[in-house]
Each structure stands twice: as structure tokens, then as C-alpha cells.
Structure 1
């Protein structure tokens, strides 16, 4: 029986050349990617507008030349272009990031994908090569890395200065006040009776001053902050200060995917420390809750009290030193900070800081990152 005619067959035959032409136009018109083909030996046989924009060669300049012309001299000497073709043949494709060279001799950082192309008989016909200029992204990554390095140095310098001040206060000011207190005790039995009460008040003032100085040294450099991680450090602070000293109930919830760098941990600790101090001094709260969780590549923290709240907007607190310090710490770390407060509903301090991996050593300007021969 003769099969029925397919009315769409002729339409598909006509559409095929049109689809191929449209695809060719698409490839030729792409500007963000250099897309071109190599023959089996690595000589360039096609060239699109994106390749011309990225590399600076016109099709007339480059077709027929070997693609190794795009590689720096050190890579050419090491045989990297040929090695990449061999790897693409063996694995089907190769992806690499590294330095490439434009027509004018300038270098740019490129992401490169080489794909081996085979016919239906398994014979290698050549390679498809896609190149993307990643110079701007790499420059942004280096700028971010440098900013992070400067931030780390700043935090370390601040902590070193805090430690020095804490030691100075402990070894000088506190010891001097203790000596004054001891002399007052010696005088207690020698002064006339009418001066006893005044001497007792003076002794009490000295003891109170010593207590305040000791509290200051603790805030400047809490014991163990350098050795403990963020969670243990905050837990100890909440136990020792909020619960034991202030006798305030608290909760501490945390869900972090990894321990932050020491500089990030110190930044979070200091902001929480200042927020808790504000609760103690101003909120007239009966409890405080602290929450820390991983979010959006960083750590988001909430410090929530049940105090009276403040009848003022966040903008009106901009001249408050503690608020300025918290905000500046968060923003210097590349994050954000906010405070929400309404009379009778308590106050919430909320902030987020990025939680980057430890800063790697910078790569050599002339080196390659990624695949190397």
C-alpha cells in the first residue's frame, strides 16, 4: 500500500535552510562572545563579530592563522594551545580561564570553552571555540578581595588598640585606684569620728570607679574572644554579662552554615555587644533575644528586646555614638544595619554582613588560573 503523502514535508525542507541561515546570523551577530571554528589542526576557519570586538582582529586578519596567536608567549612555549586541543579531543570539551592576547598585544582575562566536533562517522571535523572577556569581572573580584583585605587589617588594628587600652587601664588606672582604696582603708581608723561617714562615701566612690574600669576593660577586650568562635564567644558573653551581671533572661538561637572568619566574627560580636549595652542602659527591658542565621551569602543577626521602645525615628538616632558605631561596623564589612523601634513594643537591631571564605593569596599577574598544561 502506497503511504499517504506528508503535506508538511515540503514545508520542513524549505524551513531547514532558513533555520540554518537564522542560526548563522545569530552566531555572527553575537557581540558578547567570540564564537569561531578551528580545523582539526587548530587553524581558524570562521570568525564572528564578538570575536572581532574582543580580540581586535577582523575576519580577513585572522582566518587561516593558528589559534595559538591568542596565547601569551609563555603559554605558547609551554605547548598549552596544543595541549588544550588534545584535551578537548580526549574529553569532548575543555574549559579554561587565563590570560589571552589581543591584536594590539594587550592582555585580557578570558573564559574559554573548546568543543571537539565530530561527524556522524566519528571523524574529527574541527573544534568550536567560545571566548568571553572576563576582565571586568576579574577586576571587580580583585577589588573586592583588596577591600576585604583592608577590612581585615582595620579590624585587627582596632582589636590590637582595644587590647592595648584594656591592658593600660588594668595595669595603670585600676591599680592606681586600688592603691587609693587601700590608703582610705588605712585612714579609716585614724580620722576623727566626724569624718568617718565622708571617708566611707569616698571609699565607696573609689570602689564603684574600680568596678566601672573593670567593666570597661571587659568590654574593650572580653577574655577568650581571640580563641573562641563566634557562637561560643557570644554564648559566654551572654552568660557572663547579660545573665550573671545584669540578671536579665535571654535566648540565643543560631543556625550558621560555617564559622565566619575571625574578622567577621569580631565585627558581629562588637555590634551585638553594643546593641546589648544599649538594651541594658536605655530599653528598660525584662529580656532580650539574639538570633544569628546564614542568609544570602552572609550572616543576619537580630537583637530583640521587650522594652519600652523609643518614640523617635531611626534617623533621629544618627548622632548617637553607639548607633553610629554599629552602623559603621556593618557597612565597613560590606553589609547593612537597621533599627526598628516603637513605643511599647521594644526595639529590634537587625544587621547583615557577608561571610566570605578566607582571603586567598593573589595569583600572579602573568599566571593562569584554571587548567594548566
Structure 2
């Protein structure tokens, strides 16, 4: 579009210049013929030839620095022509057309004043060349025609400048559009890369929270001595070893089947299997039952009776935090009991897990030093929540997760994400 408008402007400019050159040549020929009839022919032809030669030599200098001197030369030659004959006053018309087009204000205005003054004085210098009663016409004709020509040239030049400015603006807009398209493509690529990174992080967290935890439990159960119970404590000597092995095998099979189901859910990008058919509270109860069966740690669940319905992203986030926290209790706490509370209030929901295990020194072992605890905190922050950890050697550990009830956008992007055991 820019090249088309530029070529159209160039064609219009060439057409206007050709018309101006044609008018100049025609007027020179006509006025020279009239002046030659009324006076001496040779001087008139000589000065007309000089005028045309100078005009033709500098016609290509329009809008160049030499054009000013070219115009001054034309003015000087024209004044010399006026000294020979008043007929040449009609050349004021193309001169003023050139002035408005080539010169810039205020020089073009000064040029116009000189041309009009010469047009007025010339008939007075040749009283014999002017018929009686036509002096006024000789004065008014050049003045009106020259003034009109000057105004037309100024307007035409302004129109050309406006066309050039519009072309420049169009070019600038096209460049800005191309730059915006390039930036949009770069932003889209960055967003795709960021989305892929978030998805990889989500899958890593989900696998850590589910498959990895249950596989570690399977390994722990497989390593127990045949004479030990599920909690690692010596079993009844009277109990058959085969029966213990069968019970352990059933537990391992149950965990493996659950891991397989969860893996299928992850691949299909569905909600966690624990939340597929029941609410978060029921899922937490099943997790505590499994903890008791697998490790002998008893658990108690307290649920706020006024707990509102939670969105799926909030339930998933709290479920993952519970999975990671209970995995820590199973593997590291050496606890006998764990208390789980699910409450709401102040526009938020809170999940608190408190065990009576060995605890740890938070000054020596910061919570962010473990992947699981750091992942819990990261998950909750995505939804505008927070994680609080309180522990001391011999005093157990309390983990409290808080999420706004309206959380969902940031959590939905990674609904299977953070959390995990230490």
C-alpha cells in the first residue's frame, strides 16, 4: 500500500511539472511573437532563447538547494525581458507557479512581491506598447493571474507535502504493525514454553505426590521381616508366617493397583482418583485408614460441619498437601497418632495436620530445604494461600495449609501439582 501511494504521488508530481513546463514554453513563444511584431525581433528572440535555455537547464533542480539560484536567475532574465517589451509581463504567471512550488516562505512571498511590482511597472515603461484605455487591463491581468497562480502553487505544494507526510505515517504504521506481529509471535512462543514448563512441573509434582510415595511404601513393606507386622513391630509368634506374608502381599497389591489407577488419571489429565466419587473429607478419611493399616499410626479427622462446597482445584491442592504431609509422618515422624482438621472461616479453608512424632529443629533444617515441603508451599502460593510449619525436637510437627475459598485460576493450571514427601 505504501509503494502504491508513493508511485501515485510521483506520477502526480511529474504530471504537474510537465504542465508547468508546457505553460512556460507556450507563454514564452506567444509573448516573444507579440513582442517581435511590435519591436525589434532579434533582441527579443535572443533574450527569449536565453530565458528558455536557463529554464531548461535548471528545470530538474526543483526542491534542491540550487533551485533558489535558478529562480533568481529566471527573475533577472525576466526583468531584462520586461525592459525590451511589456508583452513579457505574462510570464509572471509561470514564475509565480514556480515560486510557490520551489521556494519556501517567506522567500516565496518576497519573490511574489518583486514579480508583481515588476508586472505593474513594466507597462508604464512602454507607454507606446500599450493601447489607450488598456493600461488598466495590463495592470489588473498580471496581478490577478499572478496572485491566483501563486496561491494555486502554494496549495498544490501543501497538498504534496501532506501526501508525503501521509505516506510516511503509513510506512511508520506498517513498520509498527510488523513489529507488533513479531512481538506477538515471540510472546506466544514464550507463553507456550512457560505453559510447557508449568505442565512438566505439574507432572513432576503429581508423580512425586502419588506414584513415588506409594512405591516407597511398597518398598518399605517388601523390606519388612516376615516375622514383623505391618507396623514393623514383632507379630504374634503363634501367627503363621505365611499369613503375614499374604497380608503384606495384599497391601502391596492394593497400593500397586491404586498407583496404576492414579497414573492413568494423571495421563488422562483428570481429577485425582481420591476425589472422583467423594468429597475431600471422605478422601482424607480413607487416607488415614490406609495410614493405620500400613504403618499402625492411628489418625483422627475433624471436619467443620459448616464447611462450604469447595472447588475442585482447592480440593486437589489440599489433598496433595495431605498426601505429602502423611507421607512424611509415615516415613520420618515415628509418630503414634496424627490429628487432621479441615475448617473454614474468614473466606478461607484451612487444613491442619498435627503428629506426636520426633519433630525437627527448624533452625537446623529449614522447611524449604526439602522438595516436598517446598512444593507444598509453592502449590499454595499459586492459589494465593500459604503454608505454616511448626516443629521442635521431641514435640511433633504441625503443618497448616490455608487457601482462599475462591482460589482456582492458578491452581487449575497445575491441579495435580506440588506437594510431596521430604
Q: If the length of structure 1 is used for normalisation, what is the TM-score?
A: 0.39
Larger radius of gyration: 2
Normalised TM-score (structure 2): 0.35
Higher helix share: 2
Give the number of the structure whose residues are more often strand, by fraction.
Answer: 1
